């Protein structure tokens, strides 16, 4: 049993490291060649975990080989547009200027009902509101609504909003995020003074954030 636990732990850590090295796209929307490699890695990892009679290297070496293969393909994919078209394909326009492209639907094996379902996932409940719908190579559907159906934005009223920047987590579960403090040009003493305004110390905070406008959000940890 201990042997099985050790084998599973090694394979788990290896697969976790490999997926991280492959990049974030493997965790999000995959391209076809990325999905193939992810499936193969899962299959290879399961063999030495389920059968202790098989040497663990029979799983480790093929997984590392796939990692190398994936990294090589990713580099070539970035350098060559022609190869990118072969590996990833091209986006397909399913709705063009408000009209459904039937041939494109057939080619991509997408039914009208599936198209409507994907539009609803984008909070669009009628095809009549759509100017363009593009099926991306990752399988995601990008939608451009007709001008009169789009949500208004400040630019429509000649309004220029203030710069907001990105919020930084300064404390998470009582732990000070020192790197984020450096990013905003502050130190621990400054943080402590800010948190004191909420009648607590950093170690007592569940979360402390700092946004682009200099506003601080702070919430105390529960005692439970």
- Domain end point (choices 71, 86, 101): 86
pLDDT in tens, 38-67: 777 777 777 777 677 778 787 788 888 888
| 137 and 179 share one domain | no
Distances, alpha carbon 148 to alpha carbons 8, 141, 144, in Å: 56, 21, 11
Q: Give the model's confidence band at 191: pLDDT under 50 very low, under 70 low, under 90 confident, else very high.
A: very high
Give dist(CA 214, CA 8) in Å, integer.
47
| 62 and 29 share one domain | yes
| 137 and 199 share one domain | no
| 124 and 138 share one domain | yes
Instruction: Name, of 56-60, 86-90, 176-180, the range with top average pLDDT.
Output: 176-180
Q: Which DSSP symbol is given to 187? A: -
| 140 and 177 share one domain | no
Residue 159, domain member (yes or no): no
Number of residues that this document lists for the chain: 224
Whole-number pLDDT of residue 26: 45
Residue 78, domain member (yes or no): yes
| Contact status, residue 222 vs residue 173, Cβ threshold 8 Å | no
pLDDT in tens, 113-122: 999 999 999 9
Question: In a 3-state reduction of DSSP, which class is residue 199?
Answer: coil
Q: Give the model's confidence band at 141: pLDDT under 50 very low, under 70 low, under 90 confident, else very high.
A: very high
Residue 101 in this model has a pLDDT that exceeds 90 = yes
Structure tokens at 4: 């099985």
Domain span at 117: 92-149
| 23 and 45 share one domain | yes
Q: What is the mean pLDDT of residues 66-73?
A: 81
- Domain end point (choices 149, 178, 198): 149
| 12 and 66 share one domain | yes
Split into its structural domains, the chain has a count of 3
Residue 125, domain member (yes or no): yes
| 176 and 196 share one domain | yes
| 104 and 176 share one domain | no
Q: What is the mean pLDDT of residues 197-216?
A: 92
- The CATH number of the domain holding residue 120 is 3.30.240.20
| 6 and 60 share one domain | yes
| Contact status, residue 132 vs residue 143, Cβ threshold 8 Å | yes
Q: Which residue has the higher pLDDT, 31 or 74?
A: 74
| 33 and 75 share one domain | yes
- Domain end point (choices 86, 108, 126): 86
């Amino acid at each position: 049993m201990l042997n099985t636990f050790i084998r599973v732990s090694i394979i788990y850590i290896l697969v976790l490291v490999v997926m991280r090295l492959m990049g974030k796209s493997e965790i999000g929307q995959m391209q076809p060649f990325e999905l193939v490699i992810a499936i193969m890695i899962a299959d290879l990892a399961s063999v030495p975990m389920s059968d202790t009679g098989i040497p663990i290297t029979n799983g480790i070496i093929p997984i590392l080989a796939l990692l190398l293969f994936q990294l090589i393909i990713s580099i070539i994919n970035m350098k060559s547009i022609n190869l990118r078209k072969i590996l990833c394909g091209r986006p397909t326009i399913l709705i063009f200027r408000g009209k459904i492209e039937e041939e494109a639907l057939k080619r991509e094996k997408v039914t009208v009902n599936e198209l409507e379902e994907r539009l609803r996932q984008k909070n669009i409940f009628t095809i009549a509101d759509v100017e363009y719908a593009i099926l991306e190579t990752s399988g995601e559907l990008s939608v451009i609504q007709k001008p009169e159906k789009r949500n208004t934005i400040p630019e429509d009223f000649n309004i220029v909003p203030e710069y907001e920047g990105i919020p930084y987590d300064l404390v998470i579960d009582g732990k000070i995020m020192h790197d984020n403090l450096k990013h905003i040009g502050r130190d621990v003493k400054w943080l402590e003074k800010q948190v004191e305004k909420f009648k607590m110390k950093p170690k007592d905070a569940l979360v402390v954030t700092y946004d682009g406008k200099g506003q601080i959000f702070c919430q105390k940890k529960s005692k439970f």
